[in-house]
């Protein structure tokens, strides 16, 4: 299982959000570039960056993201505000290892399929779920799509993976969040990357037993030092213990 240590950027600072509320960011006083370097030093194979300002059409973090990509020493999976083919192509040309697409897929699914075919193993679909529906526009708009039918609509696309977030799960209720993600992971052939489920090292161990969970994003727990990245990476890399097959 791949761990994606995560940086969320707002106004050039590392932040975390609760249920996507842009007006209530928690600001962490760490240097984003040094933070990216520390992920690689701890042994991470990938990292994830979300440009929160880009969700609102603000391009103020672009130079910082380019610096992170150059300095990280590991591939960067980048999400936040991708609404056009040009934006996706531009960031792949700038060195982003993967691009995460959410709202665009709901509005123009054929474009997502085209991008996935043109950039194999570089396009990731974001599926953000609230109260049983797929949300778009940075978690602000409820779509008419059910998560199960939405994911199945892209089964033929050569995606690098699907990031699944259960927005409705309470910030302390990792069990509820994992249940939604587990159910959706069972209904797709694409590797699923869980988001919002890791608060302790035990959560990583538990995720490894879920079929088709290929990775997880981990941000707040690292910043709050509830989880040590080197320890988490070791847990993610370890082979899961055999489970008895009861019939």
Structure token digits, residue 159: 């995606």
Q: Is 202 a catalytic residue?
A: no
**Nearest CA-CA partner of 163 in 144, 140, 147, 141:** 147
Residue 135, strand partner residues: 128, 142
- Of 8, 51, 166, 203, catalytic: 8
Rounded to a whole number, what is the distance in angstroms from the first to the last CA of the chain?
A: 28
Bridge-based pairing of strands 161-166 and 192-195 is: parallel
Q: Is 128 a catalytic residue?
A: yes
- Of 51, 53, 128, 166, catalytic: 128
Count of Cβ atoms closer than 10 Å to residue 73 Cβ: 12
Catalytic residues: 8, 128
């Amino acid at each position: 299982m791949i761990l994606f240590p995560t940086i969320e950027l707002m106004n050039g600072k590392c932040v975390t959000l609760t249920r996507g509320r842009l007006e209530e960011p928690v600001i962490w006083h760490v240097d984003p570039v040094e933070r990216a370097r520390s992920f690689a030093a701890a042994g991470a194979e990938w990292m994830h960056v979300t440009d929160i300002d880009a969700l609102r059409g603000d391009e103020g973090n672009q130079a910082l993201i380019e610096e992170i990509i150059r300095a990280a020493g590991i591939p960067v999976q980048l999400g936040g505000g991708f609404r056009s083919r040009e934006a996706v192509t531009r960031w792949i040309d700038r060195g982003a290892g993967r691009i995460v697409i959410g709202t665009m897929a709901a509005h123009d699914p054929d474009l997502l399929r085209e991008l996935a075919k043109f950039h194999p193993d570089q396009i990731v679909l974001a599926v953000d779920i609230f109260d049983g529906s797929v949300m778009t526009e940075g978690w602000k708009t409820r779509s008419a799509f059910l998560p199960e039918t939405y994911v199945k609509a892209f089964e033929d696309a050569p995606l690098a993976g699907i990031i699944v977030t259960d927005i409705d799960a309470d910030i302390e209720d990792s069990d509820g969040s994992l249940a939604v993600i587990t159910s959706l992971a069972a209904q797709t052939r694409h590797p699923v990357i869980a988001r919002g489920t890791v608060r302790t090292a035990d959560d990583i161990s538990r995720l490894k037993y879920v079929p088709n969970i290929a990775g997880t994003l981990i941000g707040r727990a690292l910043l709050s030092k509830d989880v040590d990245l080197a320890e988490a990476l070791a847990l993610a890399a370890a082979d899961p213990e055999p489970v008895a097959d009861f019939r």
